Amino acid sequence: MIAILYNIRSTHNVGSIFRTADALNVEKIYLCGITPDPIDKLGRPRTDVIKASLGAEKTIPWEHVGTSIRSTATISLIRKLKQEGYTIVSLEQDKKSTPLSSFKKTKQKIALIVGNEVDGVPSSILSHSDTIIEIPMCGMKESLNVSVAFGIAGYYLVNQKTKTGVIRKRE
């Protein structure tokens, strides 16, 4: 699985997603738009990301795509990943979304997109997704923290991907 983080604002959320991605054996994380890198523009570690990731930024390959809040570079990335055989799955509450538990994999290669803490994944990206999934909410709150939602969806998708449910460690 590949993770695409679109315009995530919080360094803590980015670090937490890195740590969870390591636990899920994610192949690569794409940091898109304004999502902060583990390393700042001067080459210094971002302490807030590093503190939350506990070093996972060193075990998971990552790349920054685009620098603006606009989705153009992310859409180009999605097109490239589709050509490489990835199913593009966006995690978002939308009229077209289906419950996470209803998702059935059709391909082994999945790219999971999570979006901005307030605005989510924009319609410009949702329209390029192969499927939109959501985590049904039972309480009064409408959504989960993005890093928590990534963990729930990522764990489900990884277990959908493996026949035995056993996740192999990265070598």
Convert the pLDDT of each residue in 105-127 to its tens digit: 777 799 999 999 999 999 999 99
Distance between first and last Cα of the chain? 16
User: Quick one: what percent of the chain has pLDDT higher than 90?
Assistant: 70
Secondary structure of residue 2 in the 3-state scheme: strand
DSSP state of 37: P
CATH of domain 2-161: 3.40.1280.10
Confidence at 169, pLDDT banded by 50, 70, 90: low
pLDDT at 144 over 80: yes
CA–CA gap between residue 131 and residue 98 (Å, rounded): 8
pLDDT at 27 over 90: yes
* pTM as predicted: 0.91
CA–CA gap between residue 68 and residue 157 (Å, rounded): 29
pLDDT at 24 over 70: yes
The answer to whether 89 touches 110, Cβ cutoff 8 Å, is yes
